[in-house]
Amino acid sequence: MSRLGFYIIFCLLTLTSVHTLFAQQDAQFSQYMFNSIYITPAAAGGDGVSRFIAMHRSQWLGYQSSFDERGAPTSQFISFNAPIHKLNSGAGGYILHDKLGNLNNFQAQAMYAYHLGIGESKLSFGIKLGVFAQTVDGGEYRYIQEGDDLIINGKETQVRPDVALGMMYRNEKFYAGFGVNHITNATFDFGKNGSRNALERHLNFTAGYYYDVSFDLQIMPTVLVKTDFNEYSFDLGAIATYRNTMWGGLSFRQSEALNVILGYALLKDKSLKLGYSIDIVLIDKQAKSGSSHELMLTYDLPISPGSGKKIIRTPRYRH
């Protein structure tokens, strides 16, 4: 990795030490290193293949509050992105459902990225446009004071426009990118008196480095930094891949959990990949169930002859 890459990661990890709590509004995924388009729209089409990704996360599986029958949070994510070779760009989109008790968040996003070649490297700029919808079921809450103007009667759904921007740099050994979400800073005003719930801007930064231990074994250290410009949080991990077929690793999420990540590539061309992670809660166990579980399925469409310049890849596993 270049000295600049080490410097960027060091500075960001130093920043995270200033604050230890982060107000999470967006869904989180432990296998973030395989899902860059959720982090930044600049990743769309950047790998040179057309790819489907599906993920399901059950957070704090088995958690049950004393009065809420809806259980622990769950998230579902489905995406597709593809290169547009003739325009040196890529496009894609995703839908996301995030259930947080009596609050449901839904996103439908489309994105476009322009890829600028710089020698053997690529610098990408991306934009994401879509909608962010929130649904609140007021009938499931228990109110202390009946008749309050802030009480929500029944279900209410509100939809707001959503915009994000991002940038990503990558070469054969190193990648780094960031995305700024919810630039519109939308506000939801549920209830008679319009209780305000602002959708805060978030910045996500990710980076990784591919290190060849041998011809068959590669290790990829990764980092993910998240901030709402008030507080910070980070994930730090490493994934080892054997013969471009199976992988495993560990990741630590600040102030919460140790994540174990496993995966295997199926089919002869390794186009179908299955990943799994389990998060072992280490902090605040008394308020959470002991583990979270996440499944990931990806499929790369075959590259058609004449569709564009084919990427020459090393035996390194490139997701």
Would residue 170 count as lying in a domain? Answer: yes
Please say if the pLDDT value at position 222 is more than 60.
Answer: yes
Would residue 319 count as lying in a domain? Answer: no
Would residue 69 count as lying in a domain? Answer: yes
Would residue 113 count as lying in a domain? Answer: yes
Would residue 211 count as lying in a domain? Answer: yes
Please say if the pLDDT value at position 318 is more than 50.
Answer: no
For the chain, the residue count is 319
Cα–Cα distances in angstroms (integers) from residue 13 to residues 71, 207, 226, 227, 283, in the given order: 33, 12, 11, 12, 20
Closest C-alpha among 201, 54, 39 to residue 126: 39
d(CA 49, CA 130): 23
Structural domain including 205 reads 3-300
- Residue 130 tokens read as 């879509």
What is the pLDDT confidence band of residue 145, given thresholds at 50, 70 and 90? low
Would residue 308 count as lying in a domain? Answer: no
Would residue 12 count as lying in a domain? Answer: yes
Domain count, the chain: 1
d(CA 152, CA 147): 10
Query: What CATH number is given to the structural domain containing 9?
Result: 2.40.160.40
Name the residue with higher pLDDT: 285 or 179: 179
Would residue 236 count as lying in a domain? Answer: yes
Give tens-digit pLDDT for 166-196: 999 999 999 999 999 999 988 888 766 555 6
Could you tell me where the beta strands, DSSP code E, fall in 16-62?
A: 51-58
What is the pLDDT confidence band of residue 67, given thresholds at 50, 70 and 90? low
